[in-house]
Amino acid sequence: MIENGNSPSIHTLVSGLNLTYFKASCFTKWYGDFNANFLQISYAARINILSSIKAAGSGHIGTSFSSIECILIARKLLTEWKEDQPKLETVFLSSKGHDAPAIYAAMHAQGDIKDELLFRLRRLNGLPGHPEIDTPGIPTNTGSLGMGISKAKGFVYANRIKKLDSRVIVLLGDGELQEGQIWESLPGAARDNLNEITVIVDANQIQSDTWVSKTSPLGDLKSRVEGSGWKFLECDGNDLDSLTSVINKEQELPTFILAKTIKGAWVNSMMSFSGEGKFYKYHSGSLDDSNYDAAISELLLRMEKNIHPTLKVDAAPDLNMESDQSPKLRPESFVTAWSEILLAKMEQHSEVVVLDADLSFDTGTYLAREKFPERYIQAGIAEQDMVSVAGTLALSGITPIVHSFATFLSMRPTEQVFNNLTERTRIIYCGFLAGLIPAAPGFSHQAVTDVGIFLSLPKIDVIEPSCIGELKASLEFALASRKSTYIRVNSIGNPEISAQIDFKPGVGIRRRLGGEIALIVSGATMLAQADEAAELLSADGVEASIYSYPFLGSKLEKNFLISLEGYSRIVVLENHLPALGNFQAFKEALPSKNVIRIGIDELPKNGRNDEVLAFHKLNAEKLARFAKG
């Protein structure tokens, strides 16, 4: 039974959506006897996680559910140790960061986050999609994988230098253990006896796309960890007693705990996953209304009846997520289009090999993988390894097409990309999630430095296609080129297919004709905003032309430049930081013209797409106002 005063509240969003949640005041009571009430606390926290993700429209349910016990217990223990020893410096940090909804729910349960803020997840000035230090209580920015143990070491070294005692607990994902930095960071901690550190691995066994064991098996972790000089322990990561028995204040060695958890625990439908050729459906993304209601009722039912989590609740309604995450049905998606374009090219070009770093669903390599498994290499979350493998594939006459998110691909294996470029081979790098939107995950995922970085490297073309026609043409261009190419893909794309496009460096593609203003765009995000801005301007009596120019920063052809002579204002839209790109190219090529840049000038904000586009003055309304002059 849910006790009096601990009943769930209903939060009604402005949109009219009713969300079930437990107020912080409920937890305050339960924390009075944490151990006795732990089951209720963990069920209630899950309800809050689910509701905050429902309000946000996106977020990682599976990992938030697998890790919530680890987070609740780690934070509670650190609080107790601090109470016992007030001068102790305590830090809890999540390395993977996409368990953010669980972290916020745990912080809320401890009274560190207010009720209202829970429903500002992934909103401008709300709770970031991955943890950021601007939220009080979050010690460091995370979201790019593999950095957590190093970060923990830094905190401990700092405290030692200040002669302060400290205890740091870091939460990792098991898929994250594929990152080299994890293994790079272990031996030094052992050398310096950084016994202040406890690593907890949320070992839910399923990474972004599928089972860890099917992606890139971790081997014998005990040997690998102990061989690096750490203590290795295992426990049931969803169980209070099991977790508290392994997390100790005093440790003789830096300690690495493999906490075996269940992804999606404890909602029946989220816990079952066959993995055979399917994606795990609850990795990222929110639930639709009926699935949300079903999951909430199951959790409330379990809570009310105090049902042990390992038992199935027969009365619980089934979730039906078949359609929600089917890649084919994602609206206006460049990813879906890419999956088909890529497959078609693999059919034509037997020398093409696809490489993927556990983002098959998000970078559209799944059709290629199904059809040509012998020409598909799954690197796991190991971008440096993937890029160096591509290097020698290319030296052997193969054309590797390397996939990841643009932010990871441009910054994690930069030296490996450079090394490949020094070999003058042809490799195609495809970076997804490029630019400002989707804006919910935050700057660890919103690539805005990739253009500058790739254009700082020698012998590589950078292309940002604006429509599916250009996306296809980009791959054709890259396959015909003797150089390497970086294709910068906005994951949320424009479904328009240009029938005829003259796709070559130096020449812009005219998409709208009229007036004295020319808008120069690259990428689907900017094209969509420019289209809308041109309509707004037109309604206002001002006509504007639109050209897409996908060959970022490249030399412009004379005839194209002549065609721009008639405009009084040339406005270049850049969905990245100002370092390099089209603005520089157009300004240099048209020294006597009024060339203006509208683009991202600072770190991208987290939030809903419309909020963030508006904040950065890149939405249609602001573009229209600015373009007019």
Site residues for a copy of itself, 399-418, by CB under 8 A, read: 407-408, 410-412, 414-416, 418
Instruction: Note whether 16 binds a copy of itself by CB under 8 A.
Output: no
Question: Shortest approach of a copy of itself to residue 507 CB, angstroms?
Answer: 23
Identify residue 83 by its one-letter amino acid code. E
Q: Which of the 8 DSSP states describes residue 319?
A: P
Binders of a copy of itself among 355-374, rule CB under 8 A? 374
Q: What distance lies between CA 550 and its chain's CA centroid? A: 24
Closest to a copy of itself by CB, 292 vs 615, is 615
Q: Decide whether 40 or 215 has the Cβ nearer to a copy of itself.
A: 215
CA atoms of 610 and 595, how far apart (whole Å): 26
Greatest Cα-to-Cα distance within the chain, rounded to the nearest angstrom: 77
Residues 307-366, interacting with a copy of itself (CB under 8 A): 353
Q: How far apart are CA 218 and CA 216, in angstroms?
A: 6
Please give the radius of gyration of the chain, using alpha carbons only, rounded to the nearest integer: 25
Using alpha carbons, list the distances in angstroms from residue 390 to 190, 489, 604: 33, 20, 31
Q: Which of residues 493-512 bind a copy of itself (CB under 8 A)?
A: none
- φ, ψ (nearest 5 deg) of residue 30: -60, -35
Half-sphere exposure of 221 (CA within 13 A, CB side): 24
- By three-state DSSP, how is residue 211 classified? strand
Q: What is the 3-state secondary structure (H, E, C) of 552-586?
A: CCCCCCHHHHHHHCCCCEEEEEECCCCCCCHHHHH
* Cβ proximity of 503 and 550 under 8 Å: yes
Distance between CA 9 and CA 40 in Å, rounded? 15
Is 234 in contact with 257 (CB distance < 8 Å)? Answer: yes
Q: Of 1, 397, 562, 565, which one interacts with a copy of itself (CB under 8 A)?
A: 397
For a copy of itself, give the closer residue by CB, 65 or 443: 443
Stretch that binds a copy of itself, among 42-50, 134-142, 262-270, 285-293 (CB under 8 A): 134-142
254 binds a copy of itself (CB under 8 A): no
Per the CB < 8 A criterion, the answer to whether 18 and 293 are in contact is no
Of 10-18, 22-30, 317-325, 456-464: span binding a copy of itself (CB under 8 A): 456-464
Q: Which of 259, 211, 226 is nearest to 74 (CA)?
A: 259
Residue 241 lies near a copy of itself (rule: CB under 8 A):
no
The continuous run of DSSP H or E covering 480 comes out as helix 468-480
Q: Tokens standing for 234?
A: 């295992």
The reply on whether position 429 binds a copy of itself by CB under 8 A is no
Q: Does 590 bind a copy of itself (CB under 8 A)?
A: no
562 binds a copy of itself (CB under 8 A): no
Map the footprint of a copy of itself across residues 565-584, applying CB under 8 A: 577, 579-580, 584
**Candidate residues 13, 158, 311, 497; the one interacting with a copy of itself per rule CB under 8 A:** 158
Residue 458 in contact with a copy of itself, rule: CB under 8 A: yes
Distance of closest approach, residue 481 Cβ to a copy of itself, in angstroms: 18
Of 319-327, 378-386, 524-532, 556-564: span binding a copy of itself (CB under 8 A) = 378-386
Question: Hey, which residues between 176 and 215 contact a copy of itself (CB under 8 A)?
Answer: 178-188, 190-191
- Tell me whether the omega of the peptide bond preceding residue 266 falls within 30 degrees of 0, making it cis: yes
Write down the least CB distance from residue 528 to a copy of itself, Å: 25
- Smaller CB separation from a copy of itself, 140 or 198: 140
Q: Pick between residue 105 and residue 190 the one whose CB is nearest to a copy of itself.
A: 190
The reply to whether 419 sits near a copy of itself by the rule CB under 8 A is yes
Q: Contacts with a copy of itself: how many residues (CB under 8 A)? A: 102
If one asks whether residue 275 binds a copy of itself (CB under 8 A), the answer comes out as: no
Q: Which range, of 65-73, 115-123, 133-141, 268-276, touches a copy of itself by CB under 8 A?
A: 133-141
